[in-house]
């Protein structure tokens, strides 16, 4: 496995539509997944999309943060499709490993269904809400060449992470989390 270089905002790979993966069981795909997990852990991210490591294919990995702040097992989603299960959107803070040093308040659907396949080619069909839904929407946006600032309605809410920590970070003494969303 290897730690891969993360593309930053401005790199064209982050602006293109990623290609479907024809064979999720291919050794090259599994090798990429391994490298992406190593890269995500090294960067303290909650999720990572393949285009962020310069591979324009429809593959994302992520952790699902629980209500108790614990993070559950990692998930892999290939060729994902998202269906919103609500009309309204809610604002929440996001960060992105491709947009280092910044945080923004981004509108997302609070409840979604997502489908796709896992690395063994088995179908995935999940209903998600809250942070889980937000992470998946953020990651899947990367597959369509979207970065979170382009989803923001009010750029007043695009701020430096250092200021976010000081003014907006939830005040939780047990919170040693230092995660960018991806």
Q: Using CB under 5 A as the criterion, which residues of the chain lie in contact with Ni ion when the complex forms?
A: 96, 182
Catalytic positions, written as ranges:
139
- Residue closer to Ni ion by CB (options 9, 25) is 9
User: Which of residues 25 and 149 has its CB atom nearest to Ni ion in the complex?
Assistant: 149
Which residue lies nearest Ni ion, judged by its C-beta?
Answer: 96
Q: How far is the CB of 14 from Ni ion (least distance, A)?
A: 9
Q: Which residue lies nearer to Ni ion by CB, 25 or 130?
A: 130
Task: Report the distance separating Cα 93 and Cα 32, nearest Å.
Answer: 28
Contacts (Cβ under 8 Å, ≥6 apart) of 151: 106, 107, 108, 141
Beta-bridged to residue 113, according to DSSP, are: 83, 127
CB of 120 to Ni ion, least distance (A): 26
Query: Whole-angstrom Cα distance, residue 60 to residue 49?
Result: 4
**């200021």: which residue's tokens?**
163
146: tokens are 């979207």
| CA–CA separation, 102 and 25 (whole Å) | 36
Q: Residue 138 Cβ, how far from Ni ion at the closest point, in Å?
A: 6
Q: How far is the CB of 80 from Ni ion (least distance, A)?
A: 14
Q: Looking at beta carbons only, is 11 or 121 nearer to Ni ion?
A: 11
Nearest Cα to Cα of residue 13 among 58, 60, 54, 57? 54
């Amino acid at each position: 496995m290897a730690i891969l270089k993360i593309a930053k905002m401005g790199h064209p790979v982050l602006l293109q539509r990623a290609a479907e993966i024809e064979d999720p069981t291919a050794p090259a795909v599994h090798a990429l997944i391994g490298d992406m997990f190593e890269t995500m852990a090294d960067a303290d991210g909650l999720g990572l999309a393949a285009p962020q490591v310069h591979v324009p294919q429809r593959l994302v990995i992520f952790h699902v943060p629980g209500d108790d702040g614990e993070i559950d097992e990692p998930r892999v989603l290939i060729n994902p499709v998202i269906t919103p299960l609500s009309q309204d959107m809610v604002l929440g803070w996001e960060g992105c490993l491709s947009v280092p040093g910044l945080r923004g308040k981004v509108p997302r659907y609070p409840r979604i269904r997502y489908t796709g396949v896992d690395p063994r080619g088995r179908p995935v069909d999940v209903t998600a809400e809250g942070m889980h839904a937000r992470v998946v929407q953020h990651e899947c946006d990367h597959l369509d060449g979207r970065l979170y600032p382009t989803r923001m309605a009010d750029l007043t809410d695009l701020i430096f992470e250092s200021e976010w920590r000081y003014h907006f970070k939830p005040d939780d003494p047990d919170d040693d989390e230092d995660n960018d969303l991806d």
